[in-house]
Amino acid sequence: MGEERYRERASRFEGATAWTLDLSGGPVGPVLPDGCMDLLWIGGRLLVAGPDTRAMTPSVPATGRCAGLRFAPGTAPALLGVPAHELRDRRVELADLWAPDRVRLLADRVAGAPDAAAALEALALGAAARASAPDPLMRYVAERLGAGLTVAETARRAGIGARQLHRRSLAAFGYGPKTLARVLRLRRALALARSGVPYAEAAVRSGCTDQAHLAREMRALTGTTLTAHLGR
């Protein structure tokens, strides 16, 4: 989507990204898996987007603006009070996770704010002050996998066994570390390709075996091709 429609900035909430989207410019394209979870303000409603394992086409109003706060992998479950795997590939009302009366109050605040993204930040910061902290080991795992380390090497450096890593990854990320590694690898490849790096080079630099491997991962995780996605 064009920069004139979509804008993002670093959030006051550590590791998060605040964003806004103008819906008046036509249909919204699919959102690709990124290992993150989002707090959304869409059509006057507070929603939560769980971690995706495939491309999702958002259901949004035809006009107006929406806003969101995109949390780094492993950050949102402690804030929301629900394991990430319970929200995998789902979009749910915040009122399904928190007390409805509390959510109605929060929704009124966001609705009355001049900057919905900033209001979402304030909401998240207030909730974080009362919530438990995210699992620091899983933050480390996400950072290492995002940097291209293998799951085995990440587990070794984290000092954690494979079975425990998988269990804690489900709670923190919504899926196991191998799936998160695949998602983050694809994100690295897409970033390289967008910057003009040839597909074959982007594949190898991101951690794929070759361009054919990247093409298979792109199709499996997004349902489309690199050329079709980047040309959208």
Domains of the chain: 6-128 (no CATH), 136-230 (1.10.10.60)
At residue 61, the pLDDT reads 74
Assign 212 to helix, strand or coil.
helix
Is residue 123 predicted with pLDDT exceeding 90?
yes
At residue 4, the pLDDT reads 64
At residue 59, the pLDDT reads 76
At residue 62, the pLDDT reads 63
Question: What b/e sequence results for 24-35 when a residue is b if at least 16 CB atoms lie within 10 Å of its CB, and e otherwise?
Answer: eeeebeeebbbb
pLDDT in tens, 189-221: 999 999 999 999 999 999 999 999 999 999 999
For the chain, the average pLDDT equals 94
Is residue 63 predicted with pLDDT exceeding 70?
no
Is residue 150 predicted with pLDDT exceeding 80?
yes
Categorize the per-residue pLDDT at 125 as very low, low, confident or very high, splitting at 50, 70 and 90.
very high
At residue 29, the pLDDT reads 78
pLDDT in tens, 93-110: 999 999 999 999 999 999
Bridge partners of 70? 17, 38
Assign 133 to helix, strand or coil.
coil
Is residue 8 predicted with pLDDT exceeding 70?
yes
pLDDT in tens, 160-178: 999 999 999 999 999 999 9
Cβ within 8 Å of residue 94, ≥6 positions away: 39, 46, 47, 48, 103, 106
Categorize the per-residue pLDDT at 65 as very low, low, confident or very high, splitting at 50, 70 and 90.
confident
At residue 217, the pLDDT reads 97
- The Cα 42–Cα 59 span in angstroms is 9
Burial of 48 (0-12, 13-18, 19+ CB in 10 A): buried
Rg of the chain over CA atoms, in angstroms? 18
Mean pLDDT confidence for 134-142: 95
At residue 10, the pLDDT reads 97
pLDDT in tens, 39-52: 999 999 999 999 99
pLDDT in tens, 20-32: 998 876 677 789 9
